[in-house]
Amino acid sequence: MTMQLVGLNHRTAPVALRERLFFGAAAQADMLQQWLAQPGVSEVAMLSTCNRTEIVMCGADVTPIIADLACRAQRSVHALRPLLYHYTDRAAAAHLFRVACGLDSLALGETQILKQLRDALATAVAHGSAGRQLQGLFQHAIATGKRARCETTISQGAYSIGRAGVELARVHCPDLTASPVLVLGAGKMSELTAKHLAEHGVHTIFVANRTYAHAVELAERLGGRAIHYAQFPDALTEVDILISSTSSPHLILHAERIAAVMAQRPERPLCLIDIAVPRDIDPAAGSVPNVHLYNIDDLRQVTDADLCRRQAEIPTVEAIIAEEVERWRCRQAGLDVTAAISALRHSFEQVRQAELLRATPLFAELTPEQQAAVEGMTASLVNKLLHTPTVRLKETLAAHPDACPQRLLCDLFALEPADMEEHP
């Protein structure tokens, strides 16, 4: 079965497009079920984060998935395709392993992607769309990411998105200790950002979240102050920096609101850092005088003092990836051979049973012992007939690991591809 990966990321598409193709939990569940129902698709999983949306599937035709992405992006398939990457089999595994190792991240070597991969797999498993093939692929990718971080320093000193946001804030507020900050959202990204703020000596941190109890929990851990969500627009008159990372599917801060805030503090700059996807803050807010607005793509401008050192580790990490991809492919070939042989034996067994059934009238006068002997003899005959093809198939796959055993057997024995899925 062909493994395919199609997607886009921060390198190929701007945030305005990525936010349209961001899938929350409910949307993921719907799309996984919809794609799994497509003819020829046996498994499918999705990785959707602020920096990427990627779909991995077992199936021959990725066209319906691309069409659905184009519809959601409000673009034609022709316009969307140049912004997508598409890999199959070994190349798909290599890409996913690079993602797991942090080589394809906005911040080289960041570690949050491992949790995001685990979550993507858990979601697909929970909705019945990830079977043996994709579970093995994702688990191997996660293990490769862990190995890269254990054996190299690719992640040591790596910037998280939250840390990069804080460094960006320092451009406009060099003395963070004297700059009140509002953190909007109490999720993982907001918590990581707030921790970096506290480490930089910020004394005044407000935390707002739709669920007030979550804001209180985060504020207590940081020594900050929780405020009710409805109060956060008023709090903008008191702070110098807003870092927003909510899971809202729509804008929560419009340019008109920001303009009204700035009318009360015209000489005091306001730095807005929107690290949410979809975005929380209206892009037009950046045109309000004395407002400095940044989105997640702007974090690339942050200077990373450790970047050169981590870049030196890339060749070593790439070697690890190449080794692990080969291990995955050998394991995959073994699984493919097992499935193919199982399907072939099932096909032969069906023929044997049909012939025995057709000969039932001839067995009427046989004793139970004689009938058992006939049963054993025909079963032994099938095993002997399949022995040499089984050995040769394994030898062929050992010499040509990219060969497809299912295709070989389908051609030789007139099997249907679906038979391979039914008898793994």
Q: Show which residues are catalytic.
A: 50
Taking alpha carbons only, the member of 218, 236, 222, 242 closest to residue 165 is 242
Q: Is 162 exposed, middle or buried (0-12, 13-18, 19+ CB in 10 A)?
A: buried
Whole-angstrom distance, CA of residue 185 vs CA of residue 245:
5
Task: Give the other-Cβ count within 10 Å of 267's Cβ.
Answer: 6
The tokens describing 66, both together, are 């691309």
CB 296 within 8 A of CB 317: no
Q: Which amino acid is at 120?
A: A
Taking alpha carbons only, the member of 226, 223, 242, 228 closest to residue 183 is 242
Look up residue 19 and give its DSSP letter: T
Task: Give the other-Cβ count within 10 Å of 336's Cβ.
Answer: 23
Beta bridge partners of 273: 243, 294
Whole-angstrom distance, CA of residue 330 vs CA of residue 399:
11
Whole-angstrom distance, CA of residue 281 vs CA of residue 33:
32
Q: Which amino acid is at 95?
A: H
Q: Is 119 exposed, middle or buried (0-12, 13-18, 19+ CB in 10 A)?
A: middle
CB 138 within 8 A of CB 54: no
The tokens describing 320, both together, are 């690890």
Spell out a b/e string for 222-239, using b for 16 or more CB atoms within 10 Å of the CB, else e: bebebbebeebeebbeeb
Whole-angstrom distance, CA of residue 36 vs CA of residue 54:
15
